[in-house]
Amino acid sequence: MENKNFLQRTFTGRRGRRLKEYLTAYLFIAPATILIFIFGIFPVFFALYVSLHRWRIVRGDMIGLTNYVNAVGNLAYVVAFFLGIGALVGVYIVVKKIIKMKQEHHDQPWVTMLPAFLYAVMVFSFLNWFYRALPEVLDIAFKLRGLERHEIVFIDFLLDALRAETVLPAWRIFMLVLLASLVVGGLVLRLWRNRNNFKYQAYFSLGFLALGAGIGLLAFTLGEVNAAYSAALAEGTDPGIWPQVISISSGVILLAGGWLIWKQAEKQYSNGLFWLHLLGALVLLVGGWLLIGEIPTIIAAGDNKIWDGLKVTVFFSLGTVPFQLIISLFLSILLFQKLIGSNVFRIIYFIPYVTPSIASATVFQQMFSNRQTAPVNMFLRSLGLPPQQWLFEPRGIIRIIGDMVGFSVPQWAAGPSLALVVIMLHSIWTFVGYNTVIYLAGLGNIPKELNDAAEVDGASGWQVFRHVTFPLLSPTTYFLSLIGVIGTFKAFNTIWIFRSNLALGTTDTLSLVIFLEFFEKLRYGYASAMAFVLFGIILTLTLINNRVQGSRVFYG
């Protein structure tokens, strides 16, 4: 035993075997995890950093929320303010959870607050170091310009960057806090023997983190608002941020309150029901009115491109996802009858999905060409309709149809431009096959007995579909609609190919707007801020979707 060296000793015995198992696992996941971290997680923080700067190819000054204000107007302040408040609400939720746990187990967990506080401080001191070190490390690339490519040189420069006078103290503080938190955390784990010790530490650190983030964000926003006010005062104008914050907040609070009252009224079955409903509805109305009335003024200073891009994206989603779902549901039910050759149809329907969309978009571009002799225009002519400009047509489709029948449609009801309609058709064409295959699998999962039972009970084909098949397919429909909407927010390649200046930007979804800002105007900071606006919209949509649709999906 004694002759064994350190390594052998570490990896023998039960504990040693477990340690070896852990090491194997970490080695296995290391390459993929590191890559996903560098190119999937770190960039989010990097993008946040870029978005707070004036950044055109090279980094300029730190300008706080200015990029966001340029993008969405004063709404940026309001959202930052709400995020801060949200973090404080998070603290409240965590504290409530801790108190509940404490009462259940009759614990006195207060001693775990100490390491938890240190953990939180550790995270913040790390972020502080990161924030200071990042620009120094980025600048190495410029310092290395014109020098030989040599490893040693880079490491020298890296060490120099990390030893810079703004960076080193931050690093020392981080190391100190890290050490202290490890020591204190270990001590508390040993001294207070409790099964839930670690859980309490984790919850308290979460609470402290949220507290720090909330206070930090609120202070930052306050500073930004004050700066905006003093800048406006110097110009002799009034930015009017505070009144907007107050009216938006009261709108949100009233909406939430009205909703709560309405819910409460649904629970009680007394005579007060009617009045409570009325009160709830009234509060909801006032809150909604406040919000709807205030939002246009608050975003007035923002960038119109964002709202145009958002409108196009919404058109694109509404014009593709429902049609895709209906067509593919219909086709899958036909295919599910297992007629001779249905497999061949399935293979054919799937081809558009696997075809490189750049190539298929090129083909669509020519089929929907504005030439008189292009296939689709020929088809229109055979129907006795005038040829169209298709991808070069910025006018809305409803307006074009209105013009054909001699009825002038107002601008707000013009609908998506004809150019966007072509893109929608291409998108539907591409994804129907994919949706059909998924629906087929969903149909295969429905127990046959259910359909048979319904048929025995005398239900007609439509009734079976309406009351048995369709509800049992709801998880599939939910999944496909989610994938579809996310897809329309992500869509880039085809729109880039289809895009024409003659369509006057009526085909540019928000993703396109951001890419153009970055790729053509080289405004990295501003484009990053826009990308975060898109991120916020997607997150909000997903949350709402989970709330509303998630509860209605029937998981059979």
Binding segment toward another protein, per CB under 8 A, in 92-100, 314-322, 411-419, 432-440:
432-440
Which of 4, 9, 28, 293 forms a contact with another protein (CB under 8 A)?
28
**HSE, side-chain direction, 13 A CA sphere, residue 351:** 8
Judged by CB under 8 A, does residue 166 bind another protein? no
Task: Report the interhelical angle of 418-444 vs 474-490 (nearest 10°).
Answer: 150
Nearer to another protein, 155 or 413 (CB): 155
Q: What share of the chain is helix, strand, coil (3-state, %, to 5)?
A: 80, 0, 20
End-to-end alpha carbon distance in the chain:
59
Question: Scanning residues 49 to 68, which ones bind another protein (CB under 8 A)?
Answer: 50
Which of 14, 145, 448, 552 forms a contact with another protein (CB under 8 A)?
145
Judged by CB under 8 A, does residue 32 bind another protein? yes
Task: Fill in the per-residue mask, 123 to 142: x = in contact with another protein (CB under 8 A), - = not in contact.
Answer: ---------------x-xx-
Judged by CB under 8 A, does residue 541 bind another protein? no
Nearer to another protein, 176 or 351 (CB): 351
Helix (H, G, I), strand (E, B) or coil at 54: strand
Closest approach of another protein to the CB of residue 525, in Å: 9
Nearer to another protein, 3 or 337 (CB): 337
> Would residue 42 be called left, alpha or beta, if left means φ above 0 and alpha means ψ between -120 and 50 degrees?
alpha
Nearer to another protein, 262 or 496 (CB): 496
Closest approach of another protein to the CB of residue 40, in Å: 4
Judged by CB under 8 A, does residue 154 bind another protein? yes
Structure tokens at 31: 């390459």
Which of 186, 492, 521, 556 forms a contact with another protein (CB under 8 A)?
492
Closest approach of another protein to the CB of residue 308, in Å: 16
Question: Scanning residues 329 to 388, which ones bind another protein (CB under 8 A)?
Answer: 330-331, 334-335, 337-339, 342, 345-352, 354-360, 362-367, 369, 371, 373, 375, 378
Nearest to 556 by CA among 477, 458, 438: 477
Nearer to another protein, 143 or 263 (CB): 143
- Measured between alpha carbons, how far is residue 397 from residues 250, 322, 370, 416 in Å? 39, 18, 16, 6
Nearer to another protein, 256 or 334 (CB): 334
Which of 471, 518, 545, 549 forms a contact with another protein (CB under 8 A)?
518
Closest approach of another protein to the CB of residue 104, in Å: 23
CA angle 275, 281, 286 (to 5 degrees): 125
Question: Scanning residues 433 to 472, which ones bind another protein (CB under 8 A)?
Answer: 433-434, 437-438, 440-442, 445
Nearest to 325 by CA among 178, 127, 478, 186: 478
Judged by CB under 8 A, does residue 173 bind another protein? no
Please name the residue ranges forming H helices in 52-143. Answer: 66-72, 75-105, 113-143
Binding segment toward another protein, per CB under 8 A, in 112-120, 230-238, 245-253, 528-536:
528-536
Closest approach of another protein to the CB of residue 471, in Å: 16
Binding segment toward another protein, per CB under 8 A, in 82-90, 190-198, 222-230, 519-527:
519-527
DSSP state of 396: B
Strand partners, 326: none
Calpha distance 275→264 (Å, rounded) = 12
Asked if 345 contacts 477 with a C-beta cutoff of 8 angstroms, the reply is: no
Q: How many residues belong to the site for another protein (CB under 8 A)?
A: 102
Judged by CB under 8 A, does residue 539 bind another protein? yes
Asked if 69 contacts 298 with a C-beta cutoff of 8 angstroms, the reply is: no
Nearer to another protein, 259 or 496 (CB): 496
Per the listing, tokens 């919209």 go with 537
Indicate if the alpha-carbon torsion angle 481, 482, 488, 494 is positive or negative: negative
Binding segment toward another protein, per CB under 8 A, in 171-179, 218-226, 286-294, 520-528:
520-528
Nearer to another protein, 197 or 357 (CB): 357
Would you list the DSSP string of 182-240?
A: HHHHHHHHHHS--TTHHHHHHHHHHHHHHHHHHHHHHHHHHHHHHHHHHHHHHHT----
Judged by CB under 8 A, does residue 306 bind another protein? no
Binding segment toward another protein, per CB under 8 A, in 2-10, 42-50, 109-117, 218-226:
42-50
Nearer to another protein, 246 or 334 (CB): 334
Which of 44, 253, 292, 413 forms a contact with another protein (CB under 8 A)?
44
Calpha distance 383→377 (Å, rounded) = 10
Asked if 213 contacts 121 with a C-beta cutoff of 8 angstroms, the reply is: no
**HSE, side-chain direction, 13 A CA sphere, residue 390:** 22
Binding segment toward another protein, per CB under 8 A, in 193-201, 266-274, 416-424, 522-530:
522-530
Structure tokens at 483: 């994938």
Nearest to 516 by CA among 533, 532, 499: 499
Judged by CB under 8 A, does residue 114 bind another protein? no
Binding segment toward another protein, per CB under 8 A, in 83-91, 216-224, 405-413, 536-544:
536-544
Asked if 208 contacts 90 with a C-beta cutoff of 8 angstroms, the reply is: no
Closest approach of another protein to the CB of residue 111, in Å: 24
Question: For residue 27, how many other CB atoms are within 10 A of its CB?
Answer: 9
Judged by CB under 8 A, does residue 307 bind another protein? no
Judged by CB under 8 A, does residue 14 bind another protein? no
Which of 6, 39, 412, 462 forms a contact with another protein (CB under 8 A)?
39
